[in-house]
Amino acid sequence: MDHGTTGGLEEPYYAQARDFVQRHLPPCSGLQVTLTYAQSLDGMIAARPGQQLLLSSRAAMAMTHRMRAHHDAILVGIGTVLADDPQLSARLLPSSEMPCHPQPVVLDPHLRMPATARLLSGPRADPRLHSPWIIAGPHADPAKRQELQRLGATVISVDQVDQQGRPLLDAVAAELSRRGVRRLMVEGGAHIIQAFLASVLVNTLVVTIAPVFVGVGGVTAACASAAHAQTFPNIRPLAYEQFGTDVVMVASVQQ
Ligand SMILES: NC(=O)C1=CN([C@@H]2O[C@H](COP(=O)(O)OP(=O)(O)OC[C@H]3O[C@@H](n4cnc5c(N)ncnc54)[C@H](OP(=O)(O)O)[C@@H]3O)[C@@H](O)[C@H]2O)C=CC1
Ligand SMILES: Nc1nc(O)c(N)c(N[C@@H]2O[C@H](COP(=O)(O)O)[C@@H](O)[C@H]2O)n1
């Protein structure tokens, strides 16, 4: 992957993406959390569990990369790493605008991160990429921790966990703040979207809606029961804008 090119995107995409992000994301005071994902018209983020589905048009993807560049850190769950093997970089931006990519963060309580993950190998090839921070629970395997650290990752233990041994998001947010993160972008997947919606941490929601139907068997954006979904916060849409064939909604989250 050539991180120094524009990825073939036309200039108007960049200008629209830059203006959109500058206009709609709030100024930073304390930890600002942006939750963002792309979904189909029937509310799916993937066609099958554990599989990646490219929903965003090129213009919407340019907006996502611009948004990544606006944040200090990009967080996903280990399910997304296993399914997508993501890079979480802002590589679609011209390198002159992106001297250093945001910090990848993976919520991985039991250290299931594969040694072959691109998040680990990427920074060895490109000094502008950061090795990932991996948030582990207290019972993670010490040998796996050592292996991941040897591969460049920083494994951060968060001891405050829920009944499933998963780090409490408040504690994760506090730890990221302590490490200097001011703007955090959460990109999924389904379990992480649900967990953040149920927390009081999200300030802004950005959803790309692609004009496709995925159908039964797809992965819903937040895998919540109706009862659980009742605990989600109220959303106040601020803007809808078309990017290529997609519509992007920006909303503030009322906690
Ligand atoms: N369209 C889009 O924009 C996006 C789509 N996706 C898609 O989503 C799918 C992956 O979603 P999913 O499988 O739900 O994986 P997630 O990325 O949501 O990761 C879930 C895992 O995260 C760990 N975890 C850590 N803390 C928590 C917490 N507080 N609550 C819940 N889980 C926690 C758990 O690991 P453990 O079980 O080890 O405890 C859990 O199994 C893929 O198909 C991917 O392609 C992903 C991102 C964006
Ligand atoms: N914005 C957006 N649109 C889609 O259609 C998607 N499938 C995703 N997925 C998220 O982006 C990650 C992959 O991107 P990189 O290769 O890291 O650039 C993926 O892991 C999801 O977090 N996003």
Provide the residue-wise pLDDT of the chain in tens; the chain has 255 residues: 333 345 555 677 888 898 898 888 877 768 999 999 999 999 999 999 999 999 999 999 999 999 999 999 999 999 999 999 999 999 998 888 877 899 999 999 999 999 999 999 999 999 999 999 999 999 999 999 999 999 999 999 999 999 988 999 999 999 999 999 999 999 999 999 999 999 999 999 999 999 999 999 999 998 778 888 888 899 999 999 999 999 999 999 987
* Ligand 1 nearest atom to the CA of residue 188, by list position: 47
* 82 token code pair: 């296993």
Residues ≥6 apart with Cβ < 8 Å to 205: 34, 35, 36, 235, 249, 250, 251, 252, 253
179 vs 99: CA distance, rounded Å:
20
Substitution site in 35, 45, 61 for ligand 1 pocket (most atoms within 8 Å of beta carbon): 45
Q: Alpha helices, DSSP H only, in the chain?
A: 11-24, 58-70, 78-84, 118-125, 142-150, 169-178, 190-198, 226-229
| 240 contacts 248 by C-beta, under 8 angstroms | yes
Protein residue with its CA nearest to atom 19 in ligand 2: 86
Rounded distance from Cα 189 to ligand 1 centre (Å): 4
pTM for the model stands at: 0.93
* Ligand 1 nearest atom to the CA of residue 79, by list position: 15
Listed as own residue / partner, the contacts of 142-150 with beta carbons closer than 8 Å and 24 or more positions apart are 144/111, 145/111, 147/115, 148/111, 148/113, 148/115, 148/120
Ligand 2 pocket, residue 56 CB under 6 Å: yes
Rounded distance from Cα 151 to ligand 2 centre (Å): 23
Q: Does ipTM surpass 0.85 in this model?
A: yes
Bridge-partner residues for 157, per DSSP?
A: 136
Q: Report in angstroms the alpha-carbon separations of 136 from 3, 37, 87, 90.
A: 30, 23, 20, 25
Rounded distance from Cα 55 to ligand 2 centre (Å): 9
204: how many CB neighbours lie within 10 A of its CB?
Answer: 20
37 vs 49: CA distance, rounded Å:
16
| 158 contacts 167 by C-beta, under 8 angstroms | yes
* Ligand 1 nearest atom to the CA of residue 84, by list position: 45
Nearest to 153 by CA among 175, 122, 181: 122
126 vs 51: CA distance, rounded Å:
27
* Ligand 1 nearest atom to the CA of residue 76, by list position: 17
* 238 token code pair: 């601020």
Nearest to 61 by CA among 80, 37, 94: 37
